[in-house]
């Protein structure tokens, strides 16, 4: 393994001196004296504003925008990174994306523009909804109409990605070791030797501890170069999702019966966040408001854990959370895979969240509600909620109220009332206890209309 961080930067190889601090953010290094690339801006330093957006050029040709304020420098080992300074036209002048922004009056003060340009460069390759592409980029003075119009005049420039470099390595700096193993066996051995090390998957949560709180852990164990954790397999039974598979890679696999989950995950952060964040990381941080966690409970997922000493063990997602930000993961264990079953035949699955903004906002309440109806009666109900307790949890009293009941609106009213015996939510700045309870009850009552009247438009979005 190498002891010097090496990656491709704007199409050219870049190898950093030994002792370069691997636990600093990519943004800090880019804007520092060694790189001097100050086109990438720092705005919020928490992955919300998009001013720090850079793009990963993946070997398969994909372009993945990410927040350089959250990504750690050690995570860039072997990757290909493009910043706004790396965009050039064929004549050496402005790139067509930059030209379209300028000609469309899509920039005023310009602070946010480099990040928007990078999102646009990725979008020209990846396609999709322009509003989704811009959800992670805030502009306070231009307004989005000219920006959206400019996006419509952009085309892929056809630039091929550079060849990949080795992704594993061990990078040391004074007071810090950054360990990036290249196999599961190596990862488990290192975890046994470093039980207090940070386990770093995407870093959308841990990165905040560096960017905002200036933490400098003694050891970081990065999972990105472990191929076993990058596997994503689908079959008739469901999905087997490696712990380090990003949400961006996971979304295309969520077709068919997983479509409601895909809709929820498209609201989980921005493209920048989904290009980094992972399901394994969401489990490991054990936040009670993690958007992806209630669906794991409603679908009765299993989590595969592994250690060098004891091998693998499987645990139900419902048993994994033991308290606020606590799990049954042992100090020498890592999450390797999530096995996500498909919904039972004929079942309805609804995944919802209440948040102050529709896109890229932390949930106040999140739900995953599964219903199976047989002969006009509810044969099965699995109701999972986030934001209602110290951990994501099922609602046994509400489930019991629905089980065997007729598919009628009154059945769901009674189940909503039973939620008051399942949860005693807390008040915080995102919402009061009363709001959380009322919101959860409303989402449960709405499940009736989803199942009984699927043709109704339950949400209306302006074009």
Q: Give mean pLDDT in consecutive 10-residue pieces for the chain, a chain of 463 residues.
A: 88 95 97 96 93 97 97 97 94 93 92 96 95 92 91 93 93 95 98 96 92 93 96 95 97 88 91 95 89 94 97 96 93 97 93 88 94 95 96 97 97 97 93 96 94 81 61
The domain covering 1-166 belongs, at the CATH homologous superfamily level, to Beta-grasp domain (3.10.20.30)
Q: How far apart are CA 17 and CA 351, in angstroms?
A: 47
* Nearest residue to 351 (alpha-carbon basis) of 251, 264, 238: 264
What is the predicted pLDDT for the residue at 359? 80
What is the predicted pLDDT for the residue at 37? 97
What is the predicted pLDDT for the residue at 191? 98
CATH architecture under which domain 231-452 falls: 2-Layer Sandwich (3.30)
Angle between helices 96-103 and 113-126 (to 10 degrees): 120
What is the predicted pLDDT for the residue at 362? 87
3-class secondary structure, 450: helix
Query: H/E element holding 339?
Result: strand 334-341
Phi and psi dihedrals of 111, rounded to 5?
Answer: -65, -45
Mode of pairing for the β-strands spanning 326-327 and 232-234: unpaired
Q: Which residue has the tokens 């932390």?
A: 362
Tokens of 94: 């402005």
What is the predicted pLDDT for the residue at 463? 57
Q: Which residue has the tokens 């790189």?
A: 35
Would you list the domain boundaries of the chain? 1-166, 231-452
What is the predicted pLDDT for the residue at 2? 67
Q: How far apart are CA 197 and CA 426, in angstroms?
A: 32
Q: How far apart are CA 109 and CA 113, in angstroms?
A: 8
Query: H/E element holding 276?
Result: none
């Amino acid at each position: 393994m190498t002891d010097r961080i090496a990656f491709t930067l704007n199409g050219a190889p870049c190898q950093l001196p030994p002792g370069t601090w691997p636990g600093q953010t990519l943004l800090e290094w880019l804007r520092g004296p060694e790189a001097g690339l100050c086109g990438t801006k720092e705005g919020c330093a928490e992955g919300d504003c998009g001013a720090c957006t850079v793009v990963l050029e993946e070997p398969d040709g994909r372009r993945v925008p990410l927040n350089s304020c959250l990504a750690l420098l050690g995570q860039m080992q072997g990757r290909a990174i493009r910043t706004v300074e790396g965009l050039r036209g064929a004549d050496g002048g402005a790139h067509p994306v930059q030209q379209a922004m300028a000609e469309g009056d899509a920039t005023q003060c310009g602070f946010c523009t480099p990040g928007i340009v990078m999102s646009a460069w990725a979008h020209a390759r990846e396609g999709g909804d322009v509003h989704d592409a811009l959800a992670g980029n805030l502009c306070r003075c231009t307004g989005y109409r000219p920006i959206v119009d400019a996006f419509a005049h952009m085309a892929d420039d056809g630039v091929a990605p550079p060849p990949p470099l080795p992704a594993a390595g061990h990078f040391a700096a004074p007071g810090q070791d950054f360990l990036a193993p290249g196999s599961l066996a190596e990862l488990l051995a290192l975890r046994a030797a470093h039980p207090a090390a940070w386990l770093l998957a995407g870093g959308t949560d841990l990165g905040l501890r560096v960017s905002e709180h200036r933490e400098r852990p003694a050891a970081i164990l990065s999972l990105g170069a472990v191929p076993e954790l990058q596997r994503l397999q689908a079959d008739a039974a469901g999905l087997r999702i490696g712990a380090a598979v990003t949400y961006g890679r996971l979304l295309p696999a969520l077709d068919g019966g997983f479509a409601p989950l895909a809709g929820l995950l498209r609201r989980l952060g921005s493209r920048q966040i989904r290009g980094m964040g992972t399901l394994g990381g969401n489990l490991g941080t054990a936040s009670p408001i993690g958007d992806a966690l209630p669906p794991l409970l409603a679908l009765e997922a299993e989590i595969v854990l592994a250690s060098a000493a004891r091998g693998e063990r499987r645990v139900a997602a419902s048993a994994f959370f033991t308290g606020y930000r606590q799990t049954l993961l042992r100090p020498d264990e890592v999450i390797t895979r999530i096995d996500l079953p498909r919904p039972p035949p004929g079942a309805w699955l609804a995944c919802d969240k209440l948040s102050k903004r529709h896109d890229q906002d932390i949930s106040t309440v999140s739900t995953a509600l599964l219903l199976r109806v047989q002969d006009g009666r509810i044969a099965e109900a699995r109701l999972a909620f986030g934001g209602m307790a110290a951990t994501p949890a099922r609602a046994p009293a509400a489930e019991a109220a629905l089980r065997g009941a007729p598919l009628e609106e009154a059945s769901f009213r009674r189940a909503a009332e039973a939620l008051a015996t399942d949860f005693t939510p807390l008040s915080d700045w995102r919402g009061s206890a009363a709001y959380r309870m009322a919101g959860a009850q409303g989402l449960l009552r709405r499940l009736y209309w989803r199942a009984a009247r699927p043709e109704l438009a339950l949400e209306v979005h302006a074009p």
